[in-house]
Amino acid sequence: MRTPFRLSMLWRCAPAVSLVASLVSTVPAHAQTVAAAPAPAEAAGCPAILQHTFPRLQDEKPQSLCQYSGKVVLVVNTASFCGFTPQYKGLESLDMKYRSRGLVVLGFPSNDFAQESGSNKEIADFCESTFGVKFPMFAKSSVRGTDANPLFKQLAQASGTTPKWNFYKYLIGRDGKVVQAWSSMTAPDENGFVSVIEKQLGPN
């Protein structure tokens, strides 16, 4: 059954920094950690940060992140019942606009902040039917703390910051190095954010 988009629940993810900080300190992680396997033989020319395999959200078939080697990769932890959930629309627009230039957006649903309770299929159906999400998304996992999936552990180490809430954003350059991280408050169409992405993509 498709999980409905309940706008009445959006207040639970109010963007006020003080509310976010207090919630993060008290809400335990509930997501089931996805054990990522090392990427296969293609890893020879693949940056270390992409040498992981995760189940695809829609059908849980294993997907090597090495397939995105050489691209500019935007990694985002997502949730269906959050005040920032409408950012899905902006992320999809970003992916579509810059895909031909080498950008790919990768979504990682997580229940770490108790706002992603559905199954992988329910999440996939919700994202597609509500926001038309087509960019790659992966099975629900933890993105912070000791149970964080290995990609997010590397992102935290490289950037010096872990997700404090849903829709944190990490940009990986074509060379596999983490360029920058942004908080949930950064909208996908924010000028400063987009300009960093465009710089990494290079001339049109």
pLDDT tens sequence across 116-171: 999 999 999 999 999 999 999 999 999 999 999 999 999 999 999 999 999 999 99
For 160, half-sphere exposure in the C-beta direction (CA atoms, 13 angstrom radius) is 2
CA–CA gap between residue 181 and residue 86 (Å, rounded): 19
Active-site option among 46, 66, 82, 127: 82
Strands 53-55 and 62-64: antiparallel
pTM of the model: 0.82
Active site residue 82: yes
Architecture of domain 16-201: 3-Layer(aba) Sandwich (3.40)
């090597």: which residue's tokens?
Answer: 64
**pLDDT tens across 79-127, in order?**
999 999 999 999 999 999 999 999 999 999 999 999 999 999 999 999 9
Strands, sheet with 103-109, edge to edge from the N-terminal-most edge strand? 103-109, 72-78, 169-172, 178-182
* Alpha helix positions (H), the chain: 17-26, 87-98, 120-131, 150-159, 191-201
Query: What percent of the chain stands above pLDDT 70?
Result: 78
- Of the candidates 181, 164, 166, the one whose C-alpha atom is nearest the C-alpha of residue 22 is 164
> Mean pLDDT across the stretch 188-192?
98
d(CA 78, CA 41): 30
Which residue in 186, 168, 185 sits closest to 15, CA to CA? 185
Residue 34: its pLDDT value, please?
Answer: 52
Q: For the chain, what percent of residues have pLDDT higher than 90?
A: 77
Residue 16 class from Cβ within 10 Å (0-12 exposed, 13-18 middle, 19+ buried)?
exposed
